[in-house]
């Protein structure tokens, strides 16, 4: 028996005009529901067909009034930058929760980028000082840019953006794209990670995730009061930065610990279970207060509830505007 499925391409998603604020609101709601125990969120699993590459399966059901379920099948291949292909790409499948039938199949590149920026923005909303003026961005690719877009929503005093990337051309590309979005801020090109981190109130890292990380942000480079938000697993922040501060927060305690137990990431001095202050679900659900002094580290691997909440937003808008293509499965 055939049934209707809405197929939504990346171009369709881009045509919907979804704002960063809308994505942040959805991601925050999903996170709150994690903290309230209203989601089923197994740790993401993956396969690794090439060195430093992954293809992850990320299922999630969000219960309560949301009642949405789906799964992302997403690849991350760092060498794609040279091939002018996206680092992350793949599809998201949304299922009906009464019947299990597929309701929509959509590109997941836009979703992954925007919800990752949104998550970093929420890290800043809860853990950065509201008067943060100096922001350092380490890694000037897609996630670096979207993170700044989210910071704009929550860091009204942001005035100086210190940027670092090992590839010289990335500076110009980054500034050209960001200047229009942030007309009042000054971009400062830094020749080293240390230069970028000096005096920064917020440090965010978005470099490739590596099997053998060459971590570059050590605690001695940072101000005493600093908020570090990383989207690149353990590739950039040194263990002393992550473990020796005032608070360490991950996006989901279960996923972080499961991944650590499997032995590739978060080794060699990264926090164990007792070193986790809270996960963001607990913070947003009000079970633990945010911390605003000392060195606060938010390590966000990306969780499937972000994707389900973003897919919900995309599907609602697409249905409203009749965007995408109806297929028979
Ligand atoms: N946490 C999440 O939810 C999530 C989601 C999507 C992507 N990511 C991760 O974010 C990272 C960035 O993804 P992207 O799409 O922006 O990739 P990208 O290829 O667009 O950008 C990566 C940038 O990092 C730079 N870089 C390379 N080595 C570096 C180093 N040692 N120090 C600093 N910068 C370095 C590259 O030159 C490039 O500019 C990847 O690790 C990706 O897996 C995380």
Q: What is the mean pLDDT of residues 106-133?
A: 97
With a 6 Å cutoff on the Cβ, whether 140 touches ligand 1 is yes
Nearest atom of ligand 1 to the alpha carbon of 232: 41
Q: How confident is the model at residue 264 (pLDDT cuts 50, 70, 90)?
A: confident
Count the Cβ atoms, other than its own, within 10 Å of residue 62.
24
List pLDDT tens digits, range 160-187: 999 999 999 999 999 999 999 999 999 9
Q: pTM, whole model, 2 decimals?
A: 0.97
List pLDDT tens digits, range 34-48: 999 999 999 999 999
Q: Whose CA is nearest to atom 34 of ligand 1?
A: 139
Q: What domains, with CATH codes, occur in the chain?
A: 4-112+305-328 (3.30.1780.10), 120-302 (3.40.50.720)
In 3D, which of 235, 220, 234, 231 has the Cα closest to residue 295?
220
Looking at residue 82, what is its pLDDT?
Answer: 87
With a 6 Å cutoff on the Cβ, whether 85 touches ligand 1 is no
Residues with Cβ < 8 Å from 97, sequence gap 6 or more?
61, 67, 68, 69
With a 6 Å cutoff on the Cβ, whether 135 touches ligand 1 is no
Measured CA to CA in angstroms, residue 120 lies from 4, 143, 178, 231, 253 at distances of: 35, 10, 17, 7, 17
Whether 304 contacts 237, CB under 8 Å: no
With a 6 Å cutoff on the Cβ, whether 251 touches ligand 1 is no
52 three-class SS: coil
Measured CA to CA in angstroms, residue 236 lies from 39, 184, 233, 276 at distances of: 30, 28, 8, 19
In 3D, which of 105, 110, 76 has the Cα closest to residue 92?
105
With a 6 Å cutoff on the Cβ, whether 255 touches ligand 1 is no
Q: How confident is the model at residue 246 (pLDDT cuts 50, 70, 90)?
A: very high
Nearest atom of ligand 1 to the alpha carbon of 233: 1
List pLDDT tens digits, range 281-299: 999 999 999 999 999 999 9
With a 6 Å cutoff on the Cβ, whether 117 touches ligand 1 is no
With a 6 Å cutoff on the Cβ, whether 167 touches ligand 1 is yes
Which residues sit opposite 7 in a β-bridge?
Answer: 105, 325
Q: What percent of the chain has pLDDT over 70?
A: 100
User: What is the CA(209)–ligand 1 centre distance, in A?
Assistant: 7
Q: What is the mean pLDDT of residues 9-24?
A: 98
Q: What is the mean pLDDT of residues 239-268?
A: 96
CA gap 152, 277 in Å, rounded = 26
Q: What is the largest CA-CA distance in the chain?
A: 63
């Amino acid at each position: 028996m055939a049934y209707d499925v809405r197929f939504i391409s990346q171009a369709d998603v881009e045509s919907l005009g979804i704002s960063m604020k809308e994505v942040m609101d959805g991601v925050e709601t999903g996170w709150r529901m994690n903290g309230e125990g209203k989601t089923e969120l197994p740790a993401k699993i993956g396969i690794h067909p090439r060195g430093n590459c992954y293809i992850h399966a990320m299922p999630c059901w969000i219960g309560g009034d949301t009642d949405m379920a789906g799964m992302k099948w997403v690849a991350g291949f760092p060498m794609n930058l040279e091939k002018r292909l996206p680092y992350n790409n793949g599809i998201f499948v949304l299922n009906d929760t009464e019947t299990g039938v597929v309701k929509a199949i959509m590109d997941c590149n836009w979703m992954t980028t925007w919800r990752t920026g949104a998550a970093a923005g929420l890290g800043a909303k809860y853990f950065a000082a509201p008067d943060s003026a100096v922001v350092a961005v380490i890694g000037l690719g897609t996630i670096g840019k979207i993170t700044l877009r989210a910071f704009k929503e929550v860091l009204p005093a942001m005035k100086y953006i210190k940027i670092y990337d090992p590839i010289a051309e990335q500076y110009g590309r980054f500034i050209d794209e960001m200047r229009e979005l942030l007309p009042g801020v000054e971009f400062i090109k830094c020749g080293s990670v240390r230069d970028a981190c000096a005096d920064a109130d917020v440090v965010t890292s978005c470099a490739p995730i590596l099997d053998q990380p060459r971590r570059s942000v050590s605690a001695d480079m940072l101000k005493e009061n600093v908020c570090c938000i990383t989207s690149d697993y353990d590739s950039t922040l040194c263990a002393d930065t992550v473990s020796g501060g005032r608070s360490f927060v991950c996006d989901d305690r279960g996923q972080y610990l499961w991944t650590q137990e499997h032995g590739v990431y978060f080794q060699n001095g990264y926090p164990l279970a007792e070193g986790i202050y809270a996960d963001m679900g607990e913070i947003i659900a009000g079970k633990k207060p945010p911390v605003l002094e000392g060195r606060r580290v938010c390590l966000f691997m990306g969780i499937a509830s972000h994707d389900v909440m973003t897919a919900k937003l995309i599907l609602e808008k697409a249905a409203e505007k009749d965007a995408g293509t109806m297929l028979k499965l």
